[in-house]
Structure 1
Amino acid sequence: MKKILFTATILLVSNVMIAQSEVTQEELREHIEFLSSDKNAGRFPGTKANKRVVKYIIKSFKKAGIEAYGKSYKQEFQAKIRVKKGEAPKPEATTWNVIGYIEGNDPVLKDEFIVLGAHYDHLGMGGPSSKSDHEGIHNGADDNASGTAALLEIGERIAANKHLLKRSVLLLAFGAEEQGLLGSKYFTENPVVPLSQVKLMVNMDMVGRLNNENHVYMGGAGTFPGGVELMKNLGEPLGLTVFAHPGSIGGSDHVSFYKKDISVMGIHTGGHPQYHTTEDTVDLINFPGQEKVCNYIYSALMKVATTDYKMEFIRQD
């Protein structure tokens, strides 16, 4: 009887470990529902909600066994807040980037880093970037609670398989992207590792609305050798049609890295009428689609991080 109970316990623990090493729709939903809740009021820099979200990200990293790089997960900076034309300037807001670290195992390649990033902030009640004709909570479920949820889920899967890593991985949740890419700009001006050791930055901004044709879009796939072919080929087994543009670097946080001569990819699932409005809510997220996109991004990252894949920066004009 004891042997049967012991075996059952081992199987139960094993199943839990397998579950934790996979991206799940349930956890994606849990993350996005929290991040885009009315309680968090649009995740605006300098607010209590901003602090609450940062704590949530750190707690999620810790739960997944993802370490801080150095003494703290937080990288504090001051964000200049955008205002409408003619409005008086607002005081700068204190906010943070959140940084997680998963060390590689190769004695040489572990000193090279792959960055996976997403911004967690949004527009609060609106402001000059809003496309709504009225003030209200801009929940930002797709923009960019979806990217933040993907960061947490993919990070958890990488951590569960960290024994496979040759290169190291930094997970970056950026603050104040909506104020002008401020978090990524601050990180690239104040990096925790030498930028020369960052070989690729993969950015996720709006990855929660996969369409019926399973289209995934990205810019920057030509900024490293074989990037376009790699990203198209990895999409096929998952039934994804990948539009991998060599250039078209775009306007999200990966731009800050590209400006520092670092290879980048900015990945998204396309625009929609709810962009920067009060209607970007969790009920419109395609969770089966997002799970598929997360597994796609995981496959791409692991292809580079678990091998000696040749990495060099290729400028795209």
Structure 2
Amino acid sequence: MNRIVVFSLLSLMCLSLFSQAEITEKELKNHILFLTSEKNAGRYPGGKENKRVVRYLKKEFKKLKIQSFETGYKQHFEATLRVEKNIEEKPMVKTCNVVGFIEGNDAFLKNEYIVLGAHYDHLGFGGPSSKSDKKNAIHYGADDNASGTAALLEIAEKIASEKQALKRSVIFIAFGAEEQGLLGSQFFVENPLVPLAQIKLMINMDMVGRLNAKNHVYMGGAGTFPNGMELMKVLAEPLGINPIVHAGSVGGSDHVSFYKKGISVLGMHTGGHPQYHTPEDTIDLLNIEGETLVCEYIFRTIMEIASTDYKMKFINQD
């Protein structure tokens, strides 16, 4: 580990001592309870449930004083919904990404961005992506991806409390229609709100609520930026996290859309489970205490890169 990284890590440890907003189990759980409620019916794109979730996310962004872009917090797009084989296509539906940012303080580096993202949608009552034989049953999506959406809000709150330390700017995105084929992230990178060349890292959280007894956090893409593999291991150690770090293995969620545009990425998750894409993915099976640890890990990763002049460049792993 070079001296610059060591110095940065020491500085980050000092910053954490003065944090004004902690990541808490109570707040994570409250967000997840809302997202997985019966009235939100599995957070399917389009319709009143989608609008209710978007209003909630927008309200939270405003409460945290996360800035909106000129077009507002909502980035609207239309989504084509997946259907079973030999079933007539459904009409396109209107949905959106919820996007905001915190500006950095360095005159030059504030024009560079770290993106933190998580998709808020799920499968509604099932459909072709369901792994269950239960028909017309709510797929609650507690881990996938209410956990990541809640983490997005909690990490954003903590970063907002330490915004004076930021050099680079941080963009927060709750993606719509990920389960329909990464549609929200694809729309964002094709219609970016900042030049893509200025996005230096995209961190994606998809299923971060099931930290196991060995404290394994899995990630792909750590080799897409300088010293990424080493950095993620060093940051994990004081938290007692055992990272499973892959240089490549970039696949499966919204960070793929950014990687295809030549942007460094980290895809973060706590592992698969039998309840994936079934009605049984419920809040009672989450490790909320463990998720607070995962959130702290991701928070420290962002601050290490956004509050220093950490040298960033894209490294292709194909």
| Superposition TM-score, scaled by structure 1 size | 0.94
> What does the per-residue CA deviation read over 1:62-95, in whole Å, with 9 as the maximum and x for residues that have no partner?
1111111224000000000000001000000100
Return the alpha-carbon distance in structure 2 between the equivalents of residues 182 and 246 of structure 1: 25
The amino acid of 1:37's aligned partner reads S
Work out the CA distance in 2 between the residues paired with 1:28 and 1:20. 17
Residue identity (%): 67
Residue by residue, what CA displacement relative to the aligned partner does 1:227-268 show, whole Å, maximum 9, x if unpaired? 000001111101000011000001100000000000000000
Mapped to 2, the partners of 1:302 and 1:69 lie a distance apart of: 22
Equivalent residues of 1:147, 1:204 under 8 A apart: yes
Aligned match of 1:293: 294
The answer as to whether partners of 2:20 and 2:162 remain within 8 angstroms in 1 is no
Runs of 4+ in 1 over 3 A off after TM superposition: none
CA distance in 2, matches of 1:296, 1:186: 28
Deviation at 1:128, TM superposition (A): 0.2
Distance in 1 (CA, whole Å) between partners of 2:172 and 2:134 is 35
Tell me how far apart the structure 2 counterparts of residues 108 and 19 of structure 1 sit (CA, whole Å): 25
- In structure 2, what residue type is equivalent to 1:29? K
Bigger mean CA deviation after superposition, 102-111 or 64-73:
64-73
In 1, Cα distance between the equivalents of 2:88 and 2:81? 11
Counterparts of 1:87 and 1:19, CA distance in 2: 53
CA separation in 2, counterparts of 1:169 and 1:81? 30
Q: Which residue of 2 aligns with 1:11?
A: none
How many Å apart are 1:20 and its aligned residue?
5.7
Partner SS state of residue 155, structure 2: helix
Higher-Rg structure is 1
| Paired position in structure 2 for 1:242 | 243
Give the Cα separation in 2 of the matches to 1:21 and 1:167.
Answer: 20
Q: Structure 1, residues 105-132: CA drift from partner, whole Å, max 9, x if none?
A: 0000000000000000000000000001
What secondary structure sits across from 1:131 in the alignment? Answer: coil
Alignment-derived partner of residue 82 in structure 1: 82
Structure 2, unmatched stretches of 5+, are 1-17
Distance 1:156 1:241 in 2: 25
> In structure 1, how many angstroms separate the alpha carbons of the residues matched to 2:20 and 2:251?
33
- In 2: Cα distance, 1:292 partner to 1:116 partner: 17
Cross-structure match for 1:7: none
Distance 2:66 2:194 in 1: 17
User: Is 2:157 the partner of 1:156?
Assistant: yes
Give the SS at the match of 1:67. Answer: coil
Provide the residue aligned with 1:132 in structure 2. Answer: 132
Return the alpha-carbon distance in structure 2 between the equivalents of residues 220 and 37 of structure 1: 33
Tell me, yes or no, if the aligned pair for 1:216 and 1:268 is still in contact at 8 Å: yes
Calculate the aligned-residue CA RMSD, in Å. Answer: 0.9
Partner of 1:175: 176
C-alpha separation in 2, matches of 1:275 and 1:191: 31
Distance 2:307 2:19 in 1: 21
Q: Which residue of the partner structure matches residue 69 of structure 1?
A: 69
Segments of structure 1 that go 5 or more residues without pairing to the other structure are 1-17
Amino acid at match of 1:146: S
How many residue pairs match? The answer is 300
TM-score normalized with structure 2 length = 0.93
The offset of 1:19, in angstroms, is 8.4
Cα gap change, 1:35 to 1:19, in 2 (>3 Å):
farther
